[in-house]
Structure 1
Amino acid sequence: MAKRQLNRRQEWRIQKIQDERAARAAKRAERAEEDLEGGDLGPEQTGLVIAHFGVTVEVEGDDGARVRCNLRANLPALVTGDRVVWRAGKQNNGVIVAQLPRSSELCRPNAHGQLKPVAANVDQLLVVIAPRPEPHANLIDRYLVAAEHAGIPPLLLLNKADLIDDSNATKLDALLTIYRELGYPVLEVSAHNGLAMEQLYAALDGHISVFVGQSGVGKSSLVNKLLPGEDTRVGDLSQATGKGTHTTTTARLFHFPSGGDLIDSPGIREFALAHIERADVEAGFIEFRDLLGCCRFRDCKHEREPGCALLQALENGAVSQQRMDSYRHILSSLPEKTY
């Protein structure tokens, strides 16, 4: 069924309702803060946001205790991974009074095209794929472009390696070989039978990592394997579409016993890049970097222009056809203003 188109008045009414709900939520948070203030808050201390629940967040103090906190009205939106300054109340609650600077943030546009952070202070992005649902280079490249744009090093993680067989082994190997040759780290694991999980632990140790990837690739299963007892919900592949069903509903941060943290973010089937421009896409394809600026024409679109450095690299094999196709597909999906 086609998505129903809303007229401008309907869109205005929906936005008005959302704004009113947000205002009411803010008033409730303000009243809760006033109650805490009246109850004599403790001294300021630092903490880590480990989960977000609407107008409140769960904060882990430096002593490891976890407290549900309200946010002061003048604070920006917080996300999992944020470092904050907070004050404790007397009933296992508290108030966040300041946000500490972020070293990085992972963002994606929301349904209205507005850029929204989904995780903070991440230093490693694990792009999870699997033999089923079948991985597509274009989706992988979207994640890699987003990682390069955010300045977060990526690791390509093939989960469900136990499902590799004669029907898909050749295609998967050809896909992953391209990324290995580009210098991206690639790890093949299986949450089902434990294949190479020790190598995955080692790759996660000492980092704040985020798993991203389409639904059904086994992100929740990996969390359950890496962190027994957390019991992250696992969804089966849809019988109708072959795609995964969404299970994670809020981003949550987990600690590994040996060191390092994992932010498990809600599954998304397609990573939109509407917030970046053409130059950012080009910079996100790391094999293009030495070629950019070398075309005969300054405004070269890398399509059919004579003297195009990228087309020459494609012809001599320095750039793969798969990656060039992804680059063009991503560009075609960007708003016209970015051209």
Structure 2
Amino acid sequence: MTKKKHLTKRQTDRIAQNEQKRLRGNKKSKTEQWDEDVLLAPEPGLVISRFGQHADIEDSSGAVVRCSMRRTISSVVTGDKVIWRRARQGTGSIDGVIEAVEDRSSVLLRPDFYDGLKPVAANIDLMIIVSAILPALSLNIIDRYLVAAEMTHIKPLLVINKVDLLTAEQHQELDQQLSQYKKIGYDYLLVSAKSGQGMPELLTQIHSGTSIFVGQSGVGKSSLMNNLMPGLTAATREVSENSGLGQHTTTVSRLYHLPEGGDLIDSPGIREFALWHLTEQEVTEGFIEFQPWLGRCKFRDCKHITDPGCAIVHAVEQQEISKDRYDSYLKILASMVQDKPNYF
């Protein structure tokens, strides 16, 4: 049995401090200073990015205004559609206030060890799961994002970057690895931000609606952004030659309008993508090829591991379900117990 992690004193103190901040709010925030007589009529807006207690809002003309938020608003993230009010006299710094957030069609949540669930972006139509052969390609990370996509009902697209570094033999091996995803209905693209390979096909996928780039640090999301939007000054860094780990290049989620149409959100890179906020049943349902076999096990409370008469294990043995995907499923279940904070 996997041993549960215990919080250190430093981690416990940080969690307590974050909780106190949430409880008392930002008492010095400018939201307390917005009186009716200094504001214009309410108008719709789109959240381009969020910075602490402030957010950049795009108005109907395309102009961007930095706003504070009413303390009654619990959450504002990139992609939110909001109702806001402009200051009668702008100062060039904080020139408006967000009054309300409209209902979201979808929201991507990321578990944070210290802060619990953190929304990343809202109203997303396509989740572009970016991986790369450098750092080493992790199918388990891909599977985690696929589970998240299924749980949030956001269509996923797998994009493998830096394929210009592959030999012909390695290219063939990669196609074999990804064929298991194609078989169960997930599309994938092999691209190179450096050479431009696959970029026209990627652009076709995102020319309408709102898409979001997600993935580990160092897989080249910002480089892909620069390729899709020439002239964009998104920061890029090389993968550390010493550690082989990706460098974080984006610190906040930001929405961009593509020249050919469609919106694209670039999200911060992460080393891992935990799923401890989900139940085991939700993770099981997140593996879409398992669904035809659910309810066919001998025992109703089957754990799909060592229980006799398990339909999913039988499907794996009969090669109806990929063993690699099943092993990834078991790894995710084990990590949920190991990574889940003991305060959650």
Q: TM-score w.r.t. structure 1 length?
A: 0.92
Q: Are 1:188 and 1:196, in contact at CA under 8 Å, matched by a contact in 2?
A: yes
1:281 aligns with 2:279: no
Aligned to 1:168: 170
**Percent of aligned pairs with the same residue?**
46
Q: Are 2:85 and 2:96, in contact at CA under 8 Å, matched by a contact in 1?
A: yes
The Cα of 1:242 is off from its aligned counterpart by 0.9
Query: How do 1:1-339 residues align onto structure 2 when only pairs under 5 Å count?
Result: 6-7=8-9, 13-15=13-15, 17-18=17-18, 26-29=26-29, 32-37=30-35, 40-89=38-87, 90-91=89-90, 92=92, 93-112=95-114, 114-166=116-168, 168-335=170-337
Question: Alpha-carbon deviations, 1:59-100, whole Å to 9, x = none?
Answer: 001111100001001111211111100000121510111110
Unaligned runs of 5+ in 2: none
Cα distance in 1 for partners of 2:14, 2:160 equals 41
Q: Are 1:84 and 1:99, in contact at CA under 8 Å, matched by a contact in 2?
A: yes
Q: CA RMSD in A?
A: 2.2
SS in 2 for 1:228: coil
The Cα of 1:259 is off from its aligned counterpart by 1.4
Cα distance in 1 for partners of 2:54, 2:130 equals 30
Change (3 A) 1:167 1:214: farther
Unaligned runs of 5+ in 1: none
Q: Are 1:131 and 1:168, in contact at CA under 8 Å, matched by a contact in 2?
A: no
SS in 2 for 1:81: coil
The Cα of 1:335 is off from its aligned counterpart by 2.9
Question: Alpha-carbon deviations, 1:134-172, whole Å to 9, x = none?
Answer: 212211101101110111110000111211214632431
Q: Are 2:218 and 2:247, in contact at CA under 8 Å, matched by a contact in 1?
A: yes
Cα distance in 2 for partners of 1:68, 1:50 equals 10
The Cα of 1:20 is off from its aligned counterpart by 5.8
Change (3 A) 1:19 1:148: closer
SS in 2 for 1:334: helix
Q: TM-score w.r.t. structure 2 length?
A: 0.90
Change (3 A) 1:4 1:37: same
Higher relative contact order (CA 8 A, sep 6+): 2
Count of residues in correspondence between the two structures: 331
SS in 2 for 1:26: coil
Q: Are 1:49 and 1:58, in contact at CA under 8 Å, matched by a contact in 2?
A: yes
